[in-house]
Structure 1
Amino acid sequence: MSDYFIGLTGGIASGKSALEKAFAAHGIVVADADLLAREVVQPGTPALAAVVERFGRGVLLADGQLDRAALRQRVFGDDVERRALEAILHPAIRARLQEICQNATSPYAIAVIPLLAEGGGREAYPWLHRILMVDTPTAVQKARLMQRDGIDAALAERMMAAQASRADRLALADDIVVNDGDIAHLQRAADALHRRYLALAAATP
């Protein structure tokens, strides 16, 4: 079981997925909050029951699965509704992230938390030993987002503005990877960090 944990975060289209894959290639267990956000609301889970109690059965599909489109429509642009949803989902996601990391068989484990800054930072994740941020210059991030999602500049800017600022994320970070190059650059950064994290994990009582 692992007892050394890294939080990996970064803005939208910053390169988190590519860095996550680089660590996984070293045999490191990675828990991804975006994937767990789907797991915690599967039929029969307490979180889905709480969502239905709060938002009504109109957010369910005929087969009992969560209707994500309907729920997004319900909370989009409504801060009260969005906060109500987050109050249900975030604790469940945090608990699963910690459980997976603590049960990891690798020397250390990584929790990928895109909304780490928005979701309470270190106070919400006191079990993290370090926070790693993928940092991308704003212009590069915008161009990648437009290309990835096939959207225009205005929508890309709105999506970026909806997240925590780059400065807020940088303020949380212990380690920073600047992702303004190619995938080989990101791989080299991951290799160096992997060696560092192995040493830090070995030195942790």
Structure 2
Amino acid sequence: MRRPIAVAITGGIGAGKSTALEAFRSHGAATVSSDEIVHHLLAADDEVRDAIVARLGEGMLGEDGRPDRGRIAQAVFGDREQLEWLEGLLHPIVSREYLTWREQLGALDDPPRVCVTEVPLLYEVGAEERFDKVVVVTAPTKLREQRRRVVQDDRDARLLPDREKVRRADFHYVNTGSFEDLHAWVGGVMAELAAEASTPA
């Protein structure tokens, strides 16, 4: 079984992690985001549903009987204890699901050379050891504020500083240009990873 080179994308809120993930996908990498995995867990994992109800109440469920992301966000927004509980519940399961996905890729007849996932709290939860390479995407604070889709909260204060992430990463991209600029940069990274994958150990 030939396991794909495992790449993690991380960075601050609004830096452009999802856009970078899209660029890797367009260059042939298998991709998944932590957000996609969480969406799946809320929709299908009964243990996650039961844990959320036990902690936060039946009001967290939508009309379909599954946890509603909007209601959960309102319940944990501004409540550090509840947010940390939710992260503690989801992170280990997300990691398990990701590793299962990666193993399934490796078992394919023609597995991809590279698989990439977006992990916002990669360094904060000590998950970097699960990956072969780490890409950090950064952007100036004002630009990130313009891009972010949620109301500003205290999450940035809980994140490792960008300079420390950059120091520990294998690749760093300052996302101040166009998608074409990012796409071209990702193409170079993919070429480097492909060359590494084809080099005998």
TM-score range relative to shorter protein: 0.7 to 0.9
Contact in 2 for aligned 1:131/1:174 (Cα 8 Å): yes
5+ residue gaps, structure 2, are 106-110
Contact in 1 for aligned 2:21/2:117 (Cα 8 Å): no
Residue 107 of structure 1 pairs with residue 110 of structure 2: no
Distance in 2, matches of 1:169 and 1:87, equals 22
Distance in 2, matches of 1:156 and 1:62, equals 29
The aligned counterpart of 2:63 is 62
Contact in 2 for aligned 1:12/1:160 (Cα 8 Å): yes
The aligned counterpart of 1:37 is 38
Residue 136 of structure 1 pairs with residue 139 of structure 2: yes
Q: What are the residue-to-residue correspondences of 1:58-97 with 2, within 5 Å? A: 58-97=59-98
SS in structure 2 at match of 1:40: helix
Distance in 2, matches of 1:12 and 1:130, equals 20
The aligned counterpart of 1:15 is 16
Distance in 1, matches of 2:3 and 2:84, equals 32
Cα 1:82/1:156, change in 2 over 3 Å: closer
Counterpart of 1:194 in structure 2: which amino acid?
M
Cα 1:62/1:188, change in 2 over 3 Å: closer
Contact in 2 for aligned 1:10/1:133 (Cα 8 Å): yes
Counterpart of 1:108 in structure 2: which amino acid?
V
Contact in 2 for aligned 1:30/1:101 (Cα 8 Å): no
SS in structure 2 at match of 1:7: strand
Contact in 2 for aligned 1:117/1:168 (Cα 8 Å): no
Scaled by the length of structure 2, the TM-score of the pair is 0.84
The aligned counterpart of 1:127 is 130
Contact in 1 for aligned 2:52/2:67 (Cα 8 Å): no
The structural deviation recorded for 1:126 is 2.3
Residue 177 of structure 1 pairs with residue 173 of structure 2: yes
Q: Which moved more, 1:94-103 or 1:83-92?
A: 94-103
5+ residue gaps, structure 1, are none
Contact in 1 for aligned 2:4/2:112 (Cα 8 Å): no
Cα 1:202/1:103, change in 2 over 3 Å: farther
The structural deviation recorded for 1:188 is 1.2
Q: Which moved more, 1:46-55 or 1:30-39?
A: 46-55
Counterpart of 1:139 in structure 2: which amino acid?
K
Distance in 1, matches of 2:85 and 2:32, equals 24
Contact in 2 for aligned 1:40/1:47 (Cα 8 Å): yes
User: What RMSD in Å do the two structures reach over aligned CA positions?
Assistant: 2.3
Aligned residues: 195
Counterpart of 1:200 in structure 2: which amino acid?
E
Q: Which moved more, 1:91-100 or 1:69-78?
A: 69-78
Contact in 2 for aligned 1:31/1:101 (Cα 8 Å): no
Distance in 2, matches of 1:167 and 1:116, equals 15
Scaled by the length of structure 1, the TM-score of the pair is 0.83
